[in-house]
Amino acid sequence: MSQSQQQPALSKCPGCEEPPAAGDLFCGACGYDLSAVPARPGDRPTMAITVPPAAPEAA
């Protein structure tokens, strides 16, 4: 099993639900190509930005 690319470890194989070994590019149980599974997005917290309403103009 090749370990040339480092990807985040999957908790289970998308093909057979078996837990793959860390760094595996193919599932040892069913042969699923784990390198084709998109990497999980990193933790990127977002912040909501609100714009206060415009003040009414004096007449």
pLDDT tens-digit map of 3-54: 444 445 678 899 999 999 888 899 999 999 998 877 666 666 777 788 888 8
Q: Is residue 48 part of a domain?
A: no
Q: Is residue 33 part of a domain?
A: yes
Q: Is residue 25 part of a domain?
A: yes
Q: Is residue 43 part of a domain?
A: no
Query: Rounded CA gap, 15 and 39, in Å?
Result: 16
pLDDT of 2 strictly over 50: no
pTM of the shown model: 0.49
Q: Which domain holds residue 9?
A: 1-38
Q: Is residue 54 part of a domain?
A: no
Query: Hey, what amino acid is at 49?
Result: I
How many domains, in total, are found in the chain? 1
Written in H, E and C, the secondary structure of the chain is CCCCCCCCCCCCCCCCCCCCCCCCCECCCCCCEHHHCCCCCCCCCCCCCCCCCCCCCCC
